[in-house]
A = this chain, B = another copy of it.
Amino acid sequence: MSKKIRVGVAGYGTIGQRLADGVAMQGDMELVGIADLAPTLSIRALAERDMIGANNVEYKLYLVDGADKGQFDALGIPTAGSFEDLCKSVDIMLDSAPGGVGAKNKLIYEKLGVKAIFQGGEKNSVADVFFHGYANFEKGVGANYLKLTSCNTTGLIRSVDALDRAIGIEKVAITIIRRVADPGDYHRGLTNALQMEKAPSHQALDLMTIMPHVNATGILVHTPVTHGHIITVVATAKDGKKITREQALEVFQKHPRIRVVSIDEGFKGNASLFKYARDLGNRRGDMYEIAIWEDSIVESGNDIMYAINIPQESVTIPETIDGIRAATQMQTTREAGTAETNKYLGIGKFKK
């Protein structure tokens, strides 16, 4: 591809920052700019680094409607234009605006004829395709509006789709041990309590939207931690077939976006993976891969049970990049699209 696909990011929050980083790392994409409303701490941090982000790329800041440019000027934060200016300069927008704002932004995207990918906070109806890079890449090819699965669903589907392609899956029952806040959050906290949500969890329902041939249900429990959801999965194969521990392990070990880890190596829990990503020197201490504990995989009769770690801040980035490739037809197959994303994000290099 000789000409780079031009990408903009709406909303520079927890996800938006990481989308910008992810795009900046793609050799065949150009990050045209980011858009936001106020000089948040994340914007200030960017300005303290002279607007230079991942891969030494400059993140040009555009202001959305309602922003007070004077506030940015007073703080010496350079701006590059309006939200519409940004939209006019790109092939596709990654919309990580707060929940509900994406639907309003879509009117602008439609007006300007720009494609867009929405994050999990928007309603499914905002998009033509509810998308997952590995599970239904082909559905997104050439589409104008995609919506990504949420963090838990994205990670969960990686593992279930992999088992399904290798063995054939009929049913999953999941327990989501949900981290309740991100590091730096003060508003969604929980203190010394496990909080229930009504079953079935939306992640199970979302999985069935992406993988309609699988019966899924689940229970979600909020826990007072910030580093990584843990999901346990009980998966049943089609036609009463048995799934062995060895089969499941082999499937997981082959997947570029799954790290198979063990307690004995030192991966004692979700905080180990957060620490490991920092020790890797990854920007923001991010991790794109989910982890599956080798020593959590057990057979339950013919079923297989295992536990996944979901790095909630960054796990959806690769599949969103996949979405850019599908929607703009940079690649038109799952294999080709995900491989390019992985290459530029450095995913799978840990595999032998």
Q: Which residues of A contact B (CB under 8 A)?
A: 17, 40-42, 44-46, 48-49, 53-54, 170-171, 173, 175, 177, 179-181, 183-186, 188-200, 215, 217-219, 221-228, 230, 232, 234, 236, 263, 265-272, 274-276, 278-281, 283-285, 293, 295-301, 303, 305-307, 349-350
Contact = CB atoms under 8 A, between A and B. Distances in A.
B49 A301 contact: no
A176 to B, nearest CB: 10
A171 B224 CA distance: 31
Contacts of A266: 40-41, 44
A193 B274 CA distance: 10
Given A184-B272, A195-B186, A195-B268, A171 B295 contact: no
Q: How many subunits of this chain does the assembly comprise?
A: 4
Q: Which of A41, A54, A299 gathers the greatest number of chain B CB atoms within 10 Å?
A: A41
Q: Which of A268, A272, A299 gathers the greatest number of chain B CB atoms within 10 Å?
A: A268
Contact of A225 (B175, B193, B227, B272): B193
Given A198-B295, A225-B193, A42 B279 contact: yes
Contacts of A186: 190, 193, 195, 268-269, 271-272
Q: Which of A49, A234, A298 gathers the greatest number of chain B CB atoms within 10 Å?
A: A234
Nearest to A195: B269
